[in-house]
Amino acid sequence: MLKEEYQRIRQSHKKAIQAKAARLIIGPSVGRVFNKGTVHKIWPVLTKIDFETMAQLKSQEQYKRWFETQLNKLARKIKATNPKNSRIYPGYKWGHATKILCLFLNDMVVQRDFFPEKVANRLVTWLYCPIDSVVMKSLKRCNIKVPFDKIKEIDTPKKFYDIQDILGDAAKKAGVPRIWFDDNWGDRQ
């Protein structure tokens, strides 16, 4: 009987990892700006992300299109549950939704034993850095002009991708993934 239970678990293990990561990634510090009930509505969006398709991507441009497809689904759910929430507008999509998606994808690709190492090593170079107050502060310490002061002010793809390009160029020159800039989170005091 126990063997059969392990066999059942094996069949849905990856989905279980994905569901656990979705629940953990949207903790109180991330979810506090949303209306009550939003977090519970976001979890299913994250657990339905197709990582098999992600694993097949071959370029940064393909990743960008895939990322924006996932972002649109997440942003629609956030908007539907927060129609008049002044704490997240106008940057509900390019600020708050990208932060959640970037955190989640980083967790799935880098922090979990979800992908084969070769696939994870390819994907990690494309991941976007989640932008929050710590990252903004760290960028400013590096003399990078950040055109916004709050997540909710990241209200266009241009604002989001301009920062990602700056981070990506510097990371490439340093020979590390762009997502590593989020390690500044550990510097929070």
How far is it, in rounded angstroms, from Cα 176 to Cα 171? 5
Average pLDDT over residues 159-186: 89
The whole-number average pLDDT for the span 37-65 is: 96
Four-point Cα dihedral 46, 52, 53, 58, nearest 10: 120
Percentage of the chain modeled with pLDDT above 90:
77
pLDDT of residue 27: 87
Which of 5-9, 112-116, 128-132: highest mean pLDDT?
128-132
Judge whether 159 and 94 are in contact, CB under 8 Å. yes
Residue with tokens 């507008």: 89
Among residues 114, 69, 118, 77, which one has the least CA distance to residue 96? 77
Sequence-separated (6 or more) residues with CB below 8 Å from residue 167: 129, 178, 181
Say which residue, 90 or 187, is predicted with more confidence: 90
pLDDT score at 13: 82
Sorting pLDDT into bands at 50, 70 and 90, what band is 128?
A: very high
Angle at Cα 124 formed by Cα 20 and Cα 130, nearest 5°? 65
State residue 1's pLDDT score.
65
User: What integer is the mean pLDDT of 169-187?
Assistant: 84
- C-alpha 91/C-alpha 95 separation (Å) is 5
% of the chain residues with pLDDT over 70: 96
Task: Please give the angle made by the CA atoms of 22, 15 and 55, to the nearest 5 degrees.
Answer: 90
pLDDT at 123 over 80: yes
Predicted confidence (pLDDT) at residue 118 exceeds the cutoff of 80: yes
Residue 189: what pLDDT?
38
73-113 tens-digit pLDDT: 999 999 999 999 999 999 999 999 999 999 999 999 987 77
Contact 96, 78 (CB under 8 A): yes
How far is the C-alpha of 152 from the C-alpha of 158, rounded, in Å?
Answer: 14
* pLDDT 10s digits, 146-167: 999 999 999 999 999 999 999 9
What distance lies between CA 20 and its chain's CA centroid?
Answer: 15
Predicted structure pTM score: 0.89
- Of the listed ranges 8-17, 114-123, 136-145, the least confidently predicted one is 8-17
Domain residue ranges in the chain: 14-187
Q: Compute the mean pLDDT over every residue in the chain, rounded to the nearest whole number.
A: 92
* Among 167, 158, 155, residue whose Cα is nearest residue 95: 155
